[in-house]
């Protein structure tokens, strides 16, 4: 049974270009996530997993676009293969199927481990760079969107119950719900 070729593309931010990942590769359907790959809880990733059927082939640019951790990579590839779905990684030039050999599985483990190691090294270098820049006075951290008086007004509005939810409060002040939590927590620490 010949199935569909299903492409999966992931970029970490809205600004990143998705075009190059599967350039020149014909697919019947493509799923694009604009989200971090730190876990498998990505909308289009989950939609793709629900869409594919036995005999289909999932085509991904590279292992690090599919999963960031070795555990997630091995788990998700294994789930697909057990369902009779092939998964092809273009950059690594490797495909996994139900007929994959123990050597193929070893390659998956090794390549996944190297990809995870590379990510961890990049994060370590980033932290070292931030620390060095901080010591030199060049790094100031995240820019706060609200000035102190606005932050206090936000906390007061919440305390007085002027908004039904933190989401509504954030919308009124032009910040995300997560930022509302940060400002409220910072206010508790000041008290």
Helix and strand tally (H, E) in the chain? 7, 5
- Provide the whole-model pTM: 0.65
Considering the domain architecture, whether residues 48 and 108 belong to the same structural domain is answered as: yes
pLDDT of residue 14: 62
- Spatial separation of the C-alpha atoms in residues 111 and 105, rounded to whole Å: 10
DSSP structure class, residue 6: E
Residue 80 within any structural domain of the chain: yes
CB 181 within 8 Å of CB 155 = no
Last residue of a domain, one of 60, 88, 114: 114
176 is catalytic: no
The series of mean pLDDT values per 10 residues for the chain, 191 residues long, is: 89 73 89 80 92 97 88 93 96 92 89 87 90 82 79 91 89 88 82 59
Q: Find the domain containing 69 and state its range.
A: 5-114
Residue 179 within any structural domain of the chain: yes
Considering the domain architecture, whether residues 28 and 73 belong to the same structural domain is answered as: yes
Report the CATH number at residue 53.
3.40.50.1390
Residue 29, sorted as left (phi over 0), alpha (psi -120 to 50) or beta, turns out to be beta
Residue 135 within any structural domain of the chain: no
pLDDT of residue 30: 94
Q: Of 12, 36, 134, 165, which residue is the catalytic one?
A: 12
Nearest to 185 by CA among 162, 160, 164, 154: 154
């Amino acid at each position: 049974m010949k199935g569909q070729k299903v492409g999966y593309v992931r970029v970490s931010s809205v600004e990143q270009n998705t075009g190059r990942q599967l350039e020149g590769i014909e697919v019947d359907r493509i799923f694009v996530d604009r989200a971090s790959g730190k876990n498998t809880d990505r909308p289009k990733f989950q939609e793709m997993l629900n869409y594919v059927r036995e005999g289909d082939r999932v085509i991904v640019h590279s292992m690090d676009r599919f999963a960031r951790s070795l555990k997630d990579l091995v788990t998700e590839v294994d789930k697909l293969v057990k369902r009779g779905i092939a998964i092809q990684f273009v950059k690594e030039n490797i495909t996994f199927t139900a007929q994959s050999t123990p050597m193929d599985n070893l390659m998956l483990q090794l390549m996944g481990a190297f990809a995870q190691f590379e990510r961890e090294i990049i994060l370590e270098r980033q932290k070292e760079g931030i620390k060095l820049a901080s010591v030199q006075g060049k790094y100031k951290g995240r820019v706060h969107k609200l000035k102190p008086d606005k932050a206090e007004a936000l906390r007061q509005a919440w305390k007085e119950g002027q908004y039904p939810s933190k989401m509504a409060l954030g919308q009124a002040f032009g910040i995300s719900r997560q930022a509302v939590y940060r400002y409220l927590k910072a206010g508790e620490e000041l008290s």
